[in-house]
Amino acid sequence: MKLRQVKNFLSNNKSKDKTSFELRFYSGYKGGETPKAVVIGNRELKIEKILWRKRVFDQKTKKTFEVFKCKMEEEIVKITIYESGEWAISFSEET
């Protein structure tokens, strides 16, 4: 599954499908810090490069989250990781 197919899948499926989504991280000294790949079902989409990262404190909710702007399959995506462990991905049209 290519990144363009993932975008189409997400926009057409709106949680009707039971496909699993996972964010994999580099393991090591500070494992769980930098995302390495997005896994959808049994397909792994590797993050080619982290373009920038930012830790954000939301004054309204008093919660901290981390934002990564990444290059995946020649496209730019933004991955937001929340304190709860939940995460969201948005594509270049939305970032």
pLDDT tens digits, 28-37: 655 557 889 9
* pLDDT on residue 94: 46
With CA atoms as reference, report the closest residue to 83 among 32, 29, 36: 32
In this predicted structure, the answer to whether residue 6 has a pLDDT above a threshold of 80 is no
Residue 3: phi, psi to the nearest 5?
-60, -40
In this predicted structure, the answer to whether residue 1 has a pLDDT above a threshold of 60 is no
In this predicted structure, the answer to whether residue 79 has a pLDDT above a threshold of 90 is yes
> What does the alpha-carbon distance between residue 42 and residue 58 come to, in Å, rounded to a whole number?
34
> What does the alpha-carbon distance between residue 17 and residue 58 come to, in Å, rounded to a whole number?
32
Task: Return the CA Rg of the chain.
Answer: 14
